[in-house]
Amino acid sequence: MADSTVMEKLVSLCKRRGFVFQSSEIYGGLGSVWDYGPLGVELKKNVKDRWWRAMVHARDDIEGLDAAILMHPRVWEASGHVAGFTDPLVDCRQCKNRFRGDDPRIKGTPGEPDAQCPVCGTRGSLTAPRLFNLMFKTFMGPVEEQAAVVYLRPETAQGIYVNYQNVLNASRQKIPFGIAQIGKAFRNEITPGNFIFRTREFEQMEMQFFVAPEAASEWFERWREWRMQWHKDLGLTPARLQWHQHGPTELAHYAKAAFDIQYEFPFGWQEIEGIHNRGDFDLTRHQEYSGKKLDYFDQAANRRYVPFIVETSAGADRVALTTLVDAYREETVEGETRVVLGFHPSIAPIKAAVLPLVKKDGMPEVADRLYHDLRAAFPCFYDDSGAIGRRYRRMDEAGTPFCVTVDGETLNDGQVTVRERDSMQQVRVAQAQVDAYIRERIR
């Protein structure tokens, strides 16, 4: 299957099965903004829940935070985003398409007569690159004037930095410690695309770990290892994960060192998470711009310092896309194509489907009771329409790991058939044991 075909099939499946819809579709859609449907919202929530459990609940050195999207405009001056969060923008005067100045498809130097538009092929039609700030602006209060400009945050990290002392004092943590946050971020990307890979509104899962300056490199290495393991534990194929180290020209203005975790998408190896050693850049800048001291007093060592920060920053939408791409497969079973989303059971939107074999002979009543019992423990789906084979296929396509079928025998022996999605193997399980059986396997 060609790589572009995989993405096309996935986008179509996501719409058909209610994972992801185009935003404002009935109005023709809004560029690179997407909505999550019933299955998609569960998938993304499961990804975020796993991240929160690993980063906050399973550790006693990380606290959670939920900072507002709107922040004081000076925050973005201090962070460097007003001056430096820009992309070079190039227009084609001929076909009116717009590109990033560093688009590898552009031949020649934009603005020069030799430069060739990658879409219409015209020579000399590309403008010289203009710097374009990626932050969305809006106005606070009734008057739309420069003094009222506020930004939609382009990253969640700054909400953590400005709250670092609040959290430190309220939680009585000591350095080394971290603050974790999941929240929306907005970037007016010039060339968004590849479905939910690069969008203008997205969610980040970021953690900032505050450490003594001399300990930063060591913590950086630890976080690199832990974060890669987290993606593997999500069920992603290890061979499709790799590290990419930022060279000196790639490093963001705040970073002393940076590694990306990349995944091999159908459109190439791409970043899904960044791990950065940000040094003392952020707190020093906020100290300078706010006039408030943000250093830390280490009582044991009797010394003051501005903490260094090791950041782990992943996109929830990008990780959700990664799980979809990694899970998608087509198989031929008895001469027919079976489409499967082979999610790790812990992130599957629906954990089990309950299916009465036929809609008579007391089977629907038993199935309905079982469905309500199981629904109290995990997300379930009840389906009594169509041939059983077709119902199994529908659940395979939704990524549901278990189908529980109530048949004629159930009424005699109190057992049901549990069919496992990947192996398609079926086992008989006592009705009273189904909950425990599935729970053990989705953990």
Contact positions toward ligand GAP, by CB under 6 A? 155, 157, 187, 189, 198-199, 202, 204, 206, 271-274, 311, 313-315, 317-318
Q: Provide, rounded to whole angstroms, the least separation between the CB of residue 44 and ligand GAP.
A: 12
- Please, which residue, 197 or 402, has the CB nearer to ligand GAP? 197
- Please, which residue, 313 or 323, has the CB nearer to ligand GAP? 313
121 to 99, 109, 190: CA distances (angstroms):
13, 14, 20
Q: Provide, rounded to whole angstroms, the least separation between the CB of residue 29 and ligand GAP.
A: 17
Q: Provide, rounded to whole angstroms, the least separation between the CB of residue 279 and ligand GAP.
A: 14
Other CB atoms within a 10 A radius of the CB of residue 73 amount to 15
What do you get for the CA distance between the two ends of the chain, in Å? 33
* Strands 402-406 and 415-420, bridge-based pairing: antiparallel
Q: Provide, rounded to whole angstroms, the least separation between the CB of residue 73 and ligand GAP.
A: 18
Q: Provide, rounded to whole angstroms, the least separation between the CB of residue 402 and ligand GAP.
A: 31
Residue nearest to ligand GAP (CB): 315
Distance CA 91, CA 115 (A): 12
- Please, which residue, 206 or 396, has the CB nearer to ligand GAP? 206
Q: Which residue(s) pair with 22 in the sheet? A: 34
Task: Tell how far CA 33 is from the center of its chain.
Answer: 14
Q: Provide, rounded to whole angstroms, the least separation between the CB of residue 154 and ligand GAP.
A: 7
* Strands 352-356 and 402-406, bridge-based pairing: parallel
Q: Which stretches does DSSP call E strand in 67-158? A: 86-91, 98-100, 130-133, 136-139, 149-152
Q: Rounded to the nearest 5 degrees, what angle is found at the Cα of 377, between the Cα atoms of 206 and 435?
A: 125
- Please, which residue, 276 or 419, has the CB nearer to ligand GAP? 276
- Please, which residue, 275 or 357, has the CB nearer to ligand GAP? 275
- Please, which residue, 186 or 381, has the CB nearer to ligand GAP? 186
- Please, which residue, 262 or 431, has the CB nearer to ligand GAP? 262
117 to 87, 88, 126, 172, 190: CA distances (angstroms):
18, 15, 6, 57, 16
Q: Provide, rounded to whole angstroms, the least separation between the CB of residue 221 and ligand GAP.
A: 19
- Please, which residue, 187 or 393, has the CB nearer to ligand GAP? 187
Q: Provide, rounded to whole angstroms, the least separation between the CB of residue 161 and ligand GAP.
A: 10
Distance CA 254, CA 244 (A): 18
Q: Which of 388, 385, 386 is nearest to 416 (CA)?
A: 388
376 to 78, 220, 320, 381, 398: CA distances (angstroms):
48, 41, 25, 12, 20
**Start-end of H helices in 73-194:** 73-78, 81-84, 157-162, 164-171
Q: Are 203 and 317 in contact (CB under 8 A)?
A: yes
Distance CA 39, CA 20 (A): 8
Residue whose structure tokens are 């791990």: 275
- Please, which residue, 202 or 381, has the CB nearer to ligand GAP? 202
Q: Provide, rounded to whole angstroms, the least separation between the CB of residue 274 and ligand GAP.
A: 4
Task: Tell how far CA 245 is from the center of its chain.
Answer: 21
- Please, which residue, 272 or 352, has the CB nearer to ligand GAP? 272
Distance CA 105, CA 86 (A): 20
Q: Provide, rounded to whole angstroms, the least separation between the CB of residue 315 and ligand GAP.
A: 3
